[in-house]
């Protein structure tokens, strides 16, 4: 689950009582493991300071579900629409018109999650490249941000984005796991970078779940990510929260 975005960090706004006001820009709430208690998941998120959540669309079905959920929780949940590189092989003649139609809705705030994943190659690399480029073209056409996934495909990602640099909307490299040099390259291109608890989570412990009642990655765990980033950068959590939530509201056109 991604935190909100910035050139340096992840999520937030200001402190209210004992919580920060945070935006989560990458929550996989369409996953069936959230289907039985979504009300509780959203309530826990709000109680922990996560005021807005973007539900990630990774396929046509998930993108439709993300839009549906955003209408069930107006002003709290928002959606994205895209085809994840793992699902690139599912692209057909209905994919582009369906995505375009979904993205016409104001609750749908970004194209994606799309991109390249040459680590697992659940879809052939050549198919990933073709489907990713189609979604870049769509984002350029409709002028909505690109919500990007990249793993072991930095060079190819940079090459494709560079081809469209004159018309490219804002790009967010979601759940970044690359090197410092790769991060610098993306930042120099004007991209934002999303950091998540995945980067430092010790799977043998549960300290990132202190706000959660279940062993799963819920939006309510996001304040810990803010605090971990703050500790690493030797800044206050309030400063990290303020900067990252400001970026999230700006990039995705969300109201405070």
Q: Which residues are annotated as a binding site?
A: 113, 149, 174
Q: Is the separation of the CB atoms in 1 and 27 below 8 Å? A: yes
The residue length of the chain stands at 256
Annotated binding site for a divalent metal cation: 113, 149, 174
The two three-digit tokens of residue 22, written as one number: 């945070």
* Rounded distance between C-alpha atoms, residue 228 and residue 208, angstroms: 10
b/e per residue 155-193 (b: at least 16 CB within 10 A): ebbbebbeebeeebbbbbbbbbebeeebbebbeeeebbb
Compute CA distances 149 → 24, 81, 132, 146, whole Å.
Answer: 16, 13, 10, 10
Are the C-beta atoms of 220 and 48 separated by less than 8 Å? Answer: yes
CA angle 158, 81, 26 (to 5 degrees): 75
Peptide bond into 64 cis (omega under 30): no
């Amino acid at each position: 689950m991604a935190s909100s975005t910035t050139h340096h960090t992840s999520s937030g706004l200001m402190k209210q009582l004992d919580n920060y006001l945070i935006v989560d820009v990458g929550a996989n709430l369409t996953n069936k493991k959230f289907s039985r208690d979504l009300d509780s998941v959203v309530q826990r998120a709000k109680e922990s300071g996560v005021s807005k959540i973007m539900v990630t669309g990774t396929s046509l079905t998930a993108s439709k579900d993300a839009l549906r959920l955003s209408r069930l929780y107006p002003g709290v949940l928002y959606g994205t629409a895209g085809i994840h590189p793992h699902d690139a092989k599912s692209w057909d003649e209905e994919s582009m018109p369906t995505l375009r139609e979904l993205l016409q809705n104001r609750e749908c705030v970004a194209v994606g999650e799309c991109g390249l994943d040459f680590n697992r190659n659940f879809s052939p690399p050549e198919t990933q490249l073709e489907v990713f480029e189609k979604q870049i073209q769509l984002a350029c056409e409709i002028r909505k941000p690109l919500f990007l996934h990249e793993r072991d495909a930095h060079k190819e990602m940079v090459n494709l984005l560079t081809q469209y640099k004159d018309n490219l909307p804002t790009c967010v490299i979601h759940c970044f796991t690359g090197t410092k040099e790769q991060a610098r390259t993306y930042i120099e291109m004007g991209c934002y970078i999303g950091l998540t608890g995945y980067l430092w989570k010790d799977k043998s412990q549960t300290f990132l779940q202190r706000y959660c009642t279940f062993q799963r990655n819920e939006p309510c765990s996001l304040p810990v990510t803010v605090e971990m980033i703050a500790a690493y950068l030797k800044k206050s959590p309030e400063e990290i929260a303020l900067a990252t939530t400001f970026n999230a509201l700006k990039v995705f056109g969300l109201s405070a």
